[in-house]
Chain A
Amino acid sequence: MEPYEIEFIGENRIISITPNFTHDKIYLICGEFGPFRAGLPVNVPLWLAIMLKQKQKCHVIPPDWMDVEVLENIKEEEKRSRFFTKMPNEHYMVEAKLILGSAAEDVPNAPEIKTIIKDIWDIRMSKLRTSMDALMKTGGGYGRLDHLTMMEINSVKPLLPAAMDNLLRMQMKTKKTAPSLNLNSSTFSQSGSSQNT
């Protein structure tokens, strides 16, 4: 999948906004949202929040985890742990990119937050590359990847699954018991005769 498709999936997440307008409930196919009261927080899907923000109809309320202290802790924990830590949000990268991209002024310390999130991403990706190399070295055909987010998983495609496929294919093709691959396995026959030497 492409990153913008993962973003599309992540855009369904619900976040809070403070609208600057008043409106009754809006009935969408994906659920009902509102009522909207100017100044009062309300939950909407991320795509709608961004859309309203672009129309200057709301402030985005940053999710709890979008905070320097919280993120610094996550970053330290990620550095310390051999494993992948559980992220506060399974689309953290998408949410960060969209909110910091369209509503940076609603997020205190936005530039720092941006940097820390990218740091966390880089630490996790480097860990992921090390794990991939280890997995291939042991010749594994199976791996467990708890807590990796969809965007992170996507960033090792097609490399990791293709490499595992290649190893397996080579093993299958060179297996002694396997019948040899005949390119032209049909036997020659002509006008009904099928004699052979």
Chain B
Amino acid sequence: MFAEKVIELIKEVDRNPDTIDQYNDEKIRQIIEEMHLLFKLNMNDANATTENRSLWTTVQVRHSALERNKRCILAYLYNRMKKIKTLRWEFGAVLPPDIRELLSDDEYQWFSKYSGNLALYMRSLGQDIGYSGIDLTENLKPPKSLFIEVLCVVDYGKLELEDGDVVMLKKNSRHYLPTSECQTLIRQGILKQIM
């Protein structure tokens, strides 16, 4: 049957909505190969339609299969792009190596461009009135208190606070920190809020 391989790709995206899988280079290559084969068969049959008019119908069937393959591959890419955007918002502009390697080189390039465009936009915010931009990845939840107690989950190192104090974030250490200054670290899974 036509365009079956490409459905495996689509199911891959559908299966794991909250994580991103390794880019499936090999399958994409195979699908594009299938498309070239269908296209070649169509070229040949299209030239033969003068002798056998009913071949034209066959050409149309293959054409539909070509369109279907195209649509599914683009949907695969597009849905990965949506996930890659989420990576930018959640991990930040620098991806951990194990996440980075799940993306193809082209996808990583797209990630960098997306990240750059976003940075440019965020820097432009409030520029007219002397701001140096606003980081929209912060202030994700309504504030409840100015300070919160946190537990450090990994050995992170030094964190310099706005008032100049330096805190040493070591695994299993507890801290009482300004909420605004540890939100990002909590999102990235480095700190955990203690309730």
Q: Judging by beta carbons under 8 Å apart, are A7 and B59 in contact? A: no
Count class of interface residues, chain B: 10 to 19
Closest-CB distance, B115 to chain A (whole angstroms): 27
CA distance A186 to B71 in the complex (A): 13
Q: Judging by beta carbons under 8 Å apart, are B141 and A184 in contact? A: no
Contact of B67 among A4, A186, A195, A197 (CB under 8 A): A186
Q: Which residues of B contact A4 (CB under 8 A)?
A: 141-142
Q: Is B60 an interface residue (CB 8 A)?
A: yes
Q: Is B192 an interface residue (CB 8 A)?
A: no
- Supposing A197-B53, A197-B56, A197-B57 touch, asked if A190 and B46 sit within 8 A by C-beta, the answer is yes
CA distance A195 to B57 in the complex (A): 12
Q: Is B100 an interface residue (CB 8 A)?
A: no
Closest-CB distance, A98 to chain B (whole angstroms): 10
Q: Which residues of A contact B56 (CB under 8 A)?
A: 195-197
CA distance A186 to B66 in the complex (A): 12
How many chain A residues touch the partner (CB < 8 A)?
A: 15
Q: Which residues of A contact B42 (CB under 8 A)?
A: 190
Considering the complex, which residues of chain A in the window 140-197 have a beta carbon less than 8 Å from any beta carbon of chain B?
183-184, 186, 188, 190, 195-197
Q: Judging by beta carbons under 8 Å apart, are B141 and A188 in contact? A: no
Q: Is B68 an interface residue (CB 8 A)?
A: yes
- Supposing A184-B67, A188-B59 touch, asked if A8 and B142 sit within 8 A by C-beta, the answer is yes
Q: Is A5 an interface residue (CB 8 A)?
A: yes
With a 10 A CB-CB cut-off, give which of A7, A186, A188, A197 has the most chain B CB atoms: A188
Which A residues have a C-beta under 8 Å from some C-beta of B? 4-5, 7-8, 11, 51, 54, 183-184, 186, 188, 190, 195-197
Beyond A4-B141, A190-B42, 17 extra complex contacts between A and B, CB < 8 Å: A8-B142, A54-B145, A183-B68, A184-B63, A184-B64, A184-B67, A184-B68, A186-B67, A188-B59, A188-B60, A188-B63, A190-B46, A195-B49, A195-B56, A196-B56, A197-B53, A197-B56
Which B residues have a C-beta under 8 Å from some C-beta of A? 42-43, 46, 49, 53, 56-57, 59-60, 63-64, 67-68, 71, 141-142, 145
